[in-house]
Structure formats: structure tokens, C-alpha cells
Structure 1
Amino acid sequence: MRQDLSRLVDGTTYRSGNPFDLWRRMRENEPVLWHDAGIFGEFWSVTSFTAVKECLRDPDTFTSSSGTLLRPLSQGHDPGSGKTLALSDAPRHTALRAAVADWFSPRSLRTLTAAVQSAAHATVTDAVAKSQVDFVVDIAAKVPLEVVWTLLDVPTADRAELTGWSMDAFCAGTASERSIAHLEILDYFSVLAEKRRSRPGNDLVSVLATAEFEDTRLPLDEVVLNCDNLLVGGTENVRLAMSGGMQALLERPEQWALLRDDFDRVIPTAVDEILRWTSSATHLVRTAQRDTEIGGRRISAGDRVVLWLTAANRDPVEFAAPDTFDVTRSPNHHLALGAGPHYCIGVQLAKLEIRAVLRELTSQVRRASPDGPAERLESIVVNGLRSLPVRLDAATKACQRRT
């Protein structure tokens, strides 16, 4: 098994979509395993549900501030380390989370519901009119981007260009194209954050631009990094979950029928099953701040621990028939969006977006079918699809369900 571990840090493993056998053998034989991953250095791999959850819920022992993703050692520390919501611990993490929390509260979500439903309706209507679409680009990416532009109050005149950069940053074919697009996004938010600092509005950029930590405003570079973090967190996970969920439904017509025929009853469990099944964040990294123990293995202070979320979400100790996609699965306490103090702050918004798109699809579409081979991302960071060609045959007006 050890000779196969290099596959975990090889993007081609995830492009093929089949790392699950390796994770299964790791869970069964060495769920906490030390190994050297070459350019990524040494770390512990953790694959069992219980151990992954324990680490995520213990920020006093396992810090996020040293980086949360595997990156080549030659690249040094993540520039967001200790600065962004995802890459900081208390008290900075607590302060940042408190600053933006109200935007993701039930009250705020109620005001966003109409915007989400409108975006989902318009996006699916356009896709159905085309009939043959790339589900990733034409549906799954569009809705969360529209919602994020609303939260950040991106001027309408800028949205098309920023959407183009975002699509390139997430879905472009080469690393160079993705990098250039990402730099364009950072430059844009640098200008926008400076404007909102001098003339704040009612939006998340303004909240971050005027936020304080220990009686001092956040430096502008930290504001920009947090805007970028919200863009990625608010769009990438939803896009990947939505498109991966659609692929699972296309491959299992009986599951699509369950959802379509009894939507209101099935949709709550279906959304969580899509999140578990897709587990779009492949891993999270934590660094031990003191000597400790995980699953009977001694962990030394300074050791990095890689928590394979996708592996944990297929652990049969926690999930019955974990390799079965079941839209009625309950209970379903997956870790797709983390756990503990870093549990995704936008989880309810993400679920709202997925639910809205599925409602439109099951209402407007008579039949959905694959229209060519799907292509997966070649990434060790995120798990999911680059493209998913589908054909959407419109339902007749008489058969459309009221939304």
C-alpha cells in the first residue's frame, strides 16, 4: 500500500475519479499513516471518519494558521496563512467570523431566497432553451457566482468581466490561464476594497474593509484575501457539488425519479447526500501545536496532518452502504463542509442554491441525459468535474410543477 501513496498527491488520480479503493485500504489497515509525499513533504494521512472529525473539532491542538491545503514545499507558506477566515485560529478567526456572520444568518438568507430562486430560474430556463449544454459552465457555475456578486455588491457593469475571470480561474484548461485569471480577480478586489473603505456600503466587501481586529482595521491586502476566500468558498464548492450531484442523478434514473416525483419530501436529504457524495474539498491540512495522539498513533508538535474528507465520507463505520448514492439517506452527518469552528459559514446558503437549481430542473426538464463524456479536474485540492455535457428536454407546460 505504501508504494501507492504517491497517487494521493497526483492530480491524474482524481482526473480518473477513482482514488476510493486506496482510501478504503488505508481506512481498513492504517487509518492514520505517516508518509513522505515528495515535493509536498512529510505528513500524516487520516482517512477514518471519527479521526477526521476529532481533528476538525480540536483547533487548540490542530491549527489552521499554517495552511489548510497541500502545496509544494518550494512555494513556501500560503500567503493567506493567519490572515483569512479559513486560515486563522481564535481570536482572529473568531473576530473575522463574527464580522461576516450576520450575512449568513437565517434572517439574511430569507432576504436572499428570492434572488437565489430568480437566478436559478433564469439559468435553468436558458439552459433548457439551448437543450445541449455543459452543465458545469452553463448552470452549476452561474448561480453561485450571481449570488456572490450580490453579497459583494459587485457593480452590474463589472459582473460579466468578473464572471469571465472567475470561470477561467476555476475551469480553464491550463494552470497558466487559471493563474492569470486569479490575478485579475485579486487586482479587481484591491481596487474595490479601497473604494469601499472610503465609502462603505451595505455589502460584504464593505464589512471586511471596515472590520477591526484588536482596535486596528484589517490591512487592505488581508481584506482582498478574504474577499477572494469568500469568492472561492461561495462558488467552487457549490459548483462542484451541483455538477457532481447532477452526474450521480443522470447515472441513476431511479434516484432522479424519486426526487422529481416527491420533491419537497426528498430534497432535504438529497442535498446532503449530494454534498457527501461529491465531497468537493478533497482534503484539509492541520498542523499539530503540541504532542498528541490520533487513532493510537503518536503525533509530534509541528507534524502536518492531512484530513481526507472524501475518504471519511465513505467510511462504513459512519455510513451504511457508503458507496451507494441514496437521495433518501438519513441520518447523514457528513464532513463535506468541515466541522468544528471552521464549519463552512455559508452552508445554509450553499444548500439553498443547490435546492433552488434542483427544483427548477425537476420542474422544467422532462428528461435529462448525458450528451458526451464528462471530464474531471486534475487536482489534489478539489474533487469534481471540469465539464458535464448534458441534453435537457423541456417538460410540457402542463407537466411543469409549480415553483
Structure 2
Amino acid sequence: MMPSVLDPARLTDPGFHADDSAHAVWRALREHDPMHWHEPTRYPGFWSLTRYEDIRAVSRDARVFSSAQGILLRPTAHGTDVGGGRTLALTDPPRHKALRNLVADWFTTRSVRALEESMREAVRNVLAHAIELEECDFVTEVAARLPLYVICGLMGVPDEEQELLFSLTKLAFAAGEPEIRGAAHLQIMQYFTELMYQRMDSPADDLVSALVTGQIDGELLTEEEVLLNCDNLLVGGTENVRLAVSSGLRVFLDHSDDWERLRTERELLPTAVEEVLRFTSTATHVMRTVTEPVLLRDQRLDAGDRVVLWIPSANRDERVFTDPDRFDITRTPNRHLALGAGQHFCLGGMLARAEMRIFFSELLDMVKTVEQTGPAVPVESIVVNGLEHLPVRLRAR
């Protein structure tokens, strides 16, 4: 029996994920109980997977391990996810592929390269503003801005209205009163409702138009499906990059030699970005639901069983990564699962990598020193991993 400090039941406590405590539990589970059963509590019962190969295998088998019934643990009292079967994240093949194809052209290598100069300009403006402030919250005032501007541009949000959405997403993602977050989220949905109707009347070359005019099996998406996917794209396109960039900076503050090395060895930026993704692992878990009886690690799973994949655990698995708890900007190969695997590999993965690479490159060019001016405040969540706040002072070169 594991000591109480390593009790797997603590993995469903958001506060437990606010520091590195969960890694000790995952390490113990990988070694002694890589497929652990959690009895029902406020959450339904589920199986925890903690080893890389198991998590990768389940992620790649969309037929047996379904996303359509929800990809996150939800308290039983909350019922099912309203996006089930209707959004990119919560559909299975073949509908998932058809839905993905409607918007995939905006995330190709060619499309991302075409965006690079505008992303550089956006980063420069964001950093110049932060330098003028002298002291700021890096998470909300710096890391959150670039991905929001990028995804809003792809969705067809006019430049002059992007600051409104920035203000609303700050409230929607922030810790605090659920009523305030809910009201902000409602205003975001109202905004995209209006934009959806505009694109119905006058389609343009953007993601919202693609959702409004695209067809699957000869049928248009319903209005609710369009809005749910707009929400999915906005959250997916902003939150992960915000968390990865801010957590990455914090890691570099703790590894200043690596940061200074990047100043002169810019060719290491791509591998450094991959290591930030692996080491910080912004997605804490994803869930799948079993569709038919299957054996996994000699354990029979029945249709309806829930399987939770702990992504940070997979990315620290000793069987795959040498010295996994060490941050190494030269690590190669680095086949982490931070962006998923299989059919649900992150649609915006290439864009996210480009945003992070450009961001850190411009930060190195424009900023001489980054001084942390207060304690970093971690997110308390079983869904995402990262920082709520990181107060810093940026000094120009």
C-alpha cells in the first residue's frame, strides 16, 4: 500500500496539482500500478493510465476509446458535455475527420509560414507594451495576447475588436467567481453568434465562414455546432499556448544558463520548444470512454468504462525519456505527447510551435533581463497545468 502522501485519490483534487506533488504519485503508479482503478466519488469511477506506451496506444485507437462522450473528468452531478459528438475535440471518426477537414487548411505548414511575419510584429508590440509597463503579469499581459490575436485573426475577428475578446477571455479563464467567468463566457458566445450570422450573409476567407458554409455528408452544421466549434477553436488556440509560454519562461528563469545559451545558439530554439512542451505538459489529463469489451494490461474493460490518460506522467516516463525530470533544451529524440497522438493530435500543433519559437526568439532579441518580482501563482486544476500569474519586470536591451 502506498503512503498517504502518494494516495492516487489525490489526483482528482485541483489543489494537489498546484505544485509538482502529482509527479510523485504518477511515478509510483508507473512503477507499481500503471492501470489503477478509482472508485466513484463526486466523479464517476475510472481507470488511471500513467505509462507512455499505454497512453499512446489508447490515444491512437479512436474506435475502441471514444472521445464523443467527453474528454475530461466531470463531476457526475454536471451530467454529460454538451459538445459531445459535435465539436472537433468530442467527435470520433469518421465525423471527426470530416469536421477537421473543414478547417484544416488554416493550420498547414504553408499557412503557418504565411503568418510568421505578422506573429513577429504582434510579439514585438506586446513586448514593447510590457517593457513600458515596467512591471506586469506575464501570464495575462504578455503570454495570453499573441495566441489570442492569432486565432482571432484566423476566425475573422476585426483587429479593432480583438481587444474586447482579450478582455473577455481574461475574465473567462481567470480564477475567481464562477459567476464572473460564466458571464464573460456568455458574452464571448454572444459575440460569435453575431459573427456567425454575419458570415451566413457574407462569407469570408476565415474559420467561422468555413464552419458556416462547410458541409458534412451534404448537410450544413447546425448553428449550435458552429458556435460550439468556435468556442473550441478559441479555447484550444489560446489557452495551451498561454500556459506553455508562461510556464516555459518560469522554467527558463530557473535555468538561466539555458536561456543565455539560446541567445547565441538560436538553432536550439526548436528543440527547446519541444522540451518546454514535454516538461510543462499543459494538458493534465484527457479521458476516453470504452465502446466495446477490450483487454488492456490483461484487465478487461467493458463498454462505458472511463479511462483517464495523465499526460504529464507519460512525458516523464523513465522507460521512454532519459533522466525525465531534467530540463534539457538539447533533448532528442523528444516524442512527447503534450499535443496528443492519433486522430486527435492537436490540429493547431504546428501553429503553437511556431508561436512559441517566435515568441522566445523575439523575447531574446528585445529583452535584456527578466526579473521575477513576486511569487508565481499556479493554476489549481485537474484539467490544465501552468500559471495563473507570474509578475515580472522586463528590461529592454
- Smaller-chain TM-score bracket: over 0.9
**TM-score, normalized by length of structure 2?**
0.97
Q: Deviations over 1:291-321 (max 9, x none)?
A: 1122232222210000000111111111111
Cα displacement (A) at 1:176: 2.5
8 A Cα contact 2:9 2:38, kept in partner: no
User: Could you tell me which residue of structure 1 aligns to residue 322 of structure 2?
Assistant: 320
Partner SS for 1:319: coil
User: Could you tell me which residue of structure 2 aligns to residue 94 of structure 1?
Assistant: 97
User: Could you tell me which residue of structure 1 aligns to residue 178 of structure 2?
Assistant: 175
Higher mean alpha-carbon deviation, 347-356 vs 286-295, is at 286-295
1:127-276 matches, cutoff 5 A: 127-263=130-266, 265-276=267-278
Cα displacement (A) at 1:16: 3.3
Say if 1:96 and 1:257 are closer, same or farther in 2 by CA, change over 3 A: same
Partner SS for 1:34: strand
Provide the C-alpha distance between the structure 1 equivalents of 2:348 and 2:3, rounded to a whole number of angstroms: 37
Partner SS for 1:176: helix
Higher mean alpha-carbon deviation, 104-113 vs 291-300, is at 291-300
Q: Deviations over 1:336-360 (max 9, x none)?
A: 0100010001111001111111011
Provide the C-alpha distance between the structure 1 equivalents of 2:365 and 2:299, rounded to a whole number of angstroms: 51
8 A Cα contact 1:48 1:312, kept in partner: yes
Provide the C-alpha distance between the structure 2 equivalents of 1:261 and 1:38, rounded to a whole number of angstroms: 52
User: Could you tell me which residue of structure 1 aligns to residue 387 of structure 2?
Assistant: 385
Letter in 2 for 1:290: E
User: Could you tell me which residue of structure 2 aligns to residue 39 of structure 1?
Assistant: 42
8 A Cα contact 2:287 2:309, kept in partner: yes
Provide the C-alpha distance between the structure 2 equivalents of 1:319 and 1:177, rounded to a whole number of angstroms: 42
User: Could you tell me which residue of structure 2 aligns to residue 352 of structure 1?
Assistant: 354
Q: Deviations over 1:207-242 (max 9, x none)?
A: 001111221100001000000000011000000000
Letter in 2 for 1:100: V
Residue 90 of structure 2 corresponds to residue 70 of structure 1: no
Q: Which runs of 5+ in 2 are unaligned?
A: none
Provide the C-alpha distance between the structure 1 equivalents of 2:183 and 2:336, rounded to a whole number of angstroms: 34
Provide the C-alpha distance between the structure 1 equivalents of 2:39 and 2:119, rounded to a whole number of angstroms: 44
Letter in 1 for 2:358: A
User: Could you tell me which residue of structure 2 aligns to residue 400 of structure 1?
Assistant: none
Among 322, 335, 338, the residue aligned to 1:336: 338
Letter in 2 for 1:303: D
Among 297, 300, 311, the residue aligned to 1:295: 297
Letter in 1 for 2:124: H
8 A Cα contact 1:124 1:357, kept in partner: no
Among 18, 21, 38, the residue aligned to 2:21: 18
Partner SS for 2:42: helix
Letter in 2 for 1:317: R
Higher mean alpha-carbon deviation, 99-108 vs 292-301, is at 292-301
Q: Which runs of 5+ in 1 are unaligned?
A: 396-403
Cα displacement (A) at 1:198: 2.1
Letter in 1 for 2:369: R
Cα displacement (A) at 1:172: 4.0
Provide the C-alpha distance between the structure 2 equivalents of 1:164 and 1:253, rounded to a whole number of angstroms: 32
8 A Cα contact 2:203 2:209, kept in partner: yes
Higher mean alpha-carbon deviation, 48-57 vs 172-181, is at 172-181
Higher mean alpha-carbon deviation, 113-122 vs 169-178, is at 169-178
Cα displacement (A) at 1:177: 1.9
Q: Deviations over 1:258-316 (max 9, x none)?
A: 212211x1101000001111111100000111111222322222100000001111111
Letter in 2 for 1:270: A
How many residues are paired up?
394
**TM-score, normalized by length of structure 1?**
0.95
Partner SS for 1:287: strand
Cα displacement (A) at 1:175: 2.6
8 A Cα contact 2:153 2:159, kept in partner: no
Provide the C-alpha distance between the structure 2 equivalents of 1:16 and 1:132, rounded to a whole number of angstroms: 25
Provide the C-alpha distance between the structure 2 equivalents of 1:221 and 1:191, rounded to a whole number of angstroms: 13
Higher mean alpha-carbon deviation, 23-32 vs 12-21, is at 12-21
User: Could you tell me which residue of structure 2 aligns to residue 123 of structure 1?
Assistant: 126
Provide the C-alpha distance between the structure 1 equivalents of 2:67 and 2:81, rounded to a whole number of angstroms: 11
User: Could you tell me which residue of structure 1 aligns to residue 310 of structure 2?
Assistant: 308
Cα displacement (A) at 1:132: 1.6
Provide the C-alpha distance between the structure 2 equivalents of 1:298 and 1:326, rounded to a whole number of angstroms: 38
Residue 113 of structure 2 corresponds to residue 110 of structure 1: yes
